[in-house]
Structure 1
Amino acid sequence: MSGPEHALLVRDFVNTYDMQCDIEEFGAPSDLSGWLAERGLVASGASANESDLGLAVALREGLRTAMIDRPRPELEGLLAALPVRVSLDGPRLVPLHRGVRGGLARVATAVMASAADGTWERLKACRATGCRWAFLDTSKNRSRAWCSMRMCGNRTKTRAYRERRRRDAVP
């Protein structure tokens, strides 16, 4: 799916944990630093610690929650832990820290860029309980609710249909 790079970065960051399959991409600090390095957010060889990992997971889950239930003051607190400064070269926001914290701050600047260009409102998490996969809603009217109509949307609609039939069948 296409979209602005910063919005896709936020989506991919949130999707580092697959709730449905219980697959965690950030199982260890080295997984976090590797993920950030693969995306050019930190220099190769950057080293994360347990504190960085805890912040990354909290940020990820805060973003996921905010994609479902806007606004979230908890998310603002997490973003405050990743300070940036304004650079007139661009202009752009530049992380104050280097290394993994700086890489996480780059994710935070991607959130800000998404808010600035309107894609933040299109970043959503699947409404299906147990899924919560992040996606960029590119529908014209911004009404998409599921990561995939074929999977989660179909399951949700089928479940609702069966429930209505069951209720109607009860005398």
Structure 2
Amino acid sequence: MAWSASTRYEVDPAPLGLALVHDLLNTIPAGRPRAADLLDDLADAQAWVDQALGCWAQEAAQAAAQVPLTENDLEELRGLRAELRRLLSSRNGDGLDGDDHDVAPAVHVAAAALRMDRNGRVVLEPRGQGWRYVAALVLLEVFQAQRSDTWRRLKICRNTRCATAFFDRSRNNSGVWHSTKICGNPENLRAHRARQRVRTAGL
């Protein structure tokens, strides 16, 4: 099984359960030609949720939950995505891509329960139906990533015309482009040319 949203932008998924959060971030329309918003209509959103929960279950060695969505769930999922993207973009002072400006803020509360598994470990499990279940699972993975210090490696490409989410695997966590070839080199070339024009104008 492949993470459908991130795969279409040719980015490797974040490790373990954080890949679910990564894939949600990449349900946005981006790339050239522009890919579809996977949360735009119910059929696409349901297909993404089914695929993403199946991938997550594989990573966690658990049975995949069946989470039917309704039309009312779509705005909440888009709102959750927008809030997560806003949080990541604020790290380097970037703004949101235009599509996310029109989305209402997501509710930052989701339900989870503590349960002891067969091995005696206490585990957190998401609760709720529809978007609430997905939000609970996503926030649990953000919580786990913050505890393991991998959350800071999940980033938004600095190229505002791209805005693809990527997991920075560089040793010093210095990456700013989802792809140096696709976004980094063209942006650096544009910046170089702009500096040259300023120098020429000053002569």
TM-score (norm 1): 0.85
Q: Work out the number of aligned pairs and report it.
A: 164
Identify unmatched segments of 5+ residues in structure 1: 71-75
Tell me if the contact between 1:7 and 1:136 (Cα under 8 Å) persists in the aligned partners.
no
- Which residue among 17, 23, 42 is the counterpart of 1:6? 17
List per-residue Cα deviations over 1:87-140 (Å, max 9, x = no partner). Answer: 233322212213442133212211111111111100000011121100000100
1:121 aligns with 2:152: yes
Q: In structure 2, the residue corresponding to 1:161 is in which secondary structure?
A: helix
Mapping for residues 126-145 of structure 1, pairs under 5 Å: 126-145=157-176
Tell me if the contact between 2:115 and 2:124 (Cα under 8 Å) persists in the aligned partners.
yes
User: Structure 1 CA distance, aligned partners of 2:72 and 2:130?
Assistant: 13
Tell me if the contact between 2:13 and 2:23 (Cα under 8 Å) persists in the aligned partners.
no
Tell me if the contact between 1:125 and 1:135 (Cα under 8 Å) persists in the aligned partners.
yes
Aligned-pair identity in percent equals: 30
1:83 aligns with 2:111: yes
1:60 aligns with 2:77: no
Tell me if the contact between 1:18 and 1:131 (Cα under 8 Å) persists in the aligned partners.
no
Tell me if the contact between 1:68 and 1:124 (Cα under 8 Å) persists in the aligned partners.
yes
User: Structure 2 CA distance, aligned partners of 1:100 and 1:67?
Assistant: 21
Q: In structure 1, the residue corresponding to 2:17 is in which secondary structure?
A: helix
1:106 aligns with 2:137: yes
User: Structure 2 CA distance, aligned partners of 1:48 and 1:3?
Assistant: 25
TM-score (norm 2): 0.72
CA RMSD after TM alignment: 2.1
Q: In structure 1, the residue corresponding to 2:191 is in which secondary structure?
A: helix
Tell me if the contact between 2:83 and 2:106 (Cα under 8 Å) persists in the aligned partners.
no
**Looking at both structures, which has the greater relative contact order when contacts are Cα pairs under 8 Å and sequence separation is at least 6?**
1
Task: Say if 1:3 and 1:27 are closer, same or farther in 2 by CA, change over 3 A.
Answer: closer
Tell me if the contact between 2:156 and 2:164 (Cα under 8 Å) persists in the aligned partners.
yes
Tell me if the contact between 1:30 and 1:48 (Cα under 8 Å) persists in the aligned partners.
no
Tell me if the contact between 1:127 and 1:146 (Cα under 8 Å) persists in the aligned partners.
yes
Tell me if the contact between 1:127 and 1:145 (Cα under 8 Å) persists in the aligned partners.
yes
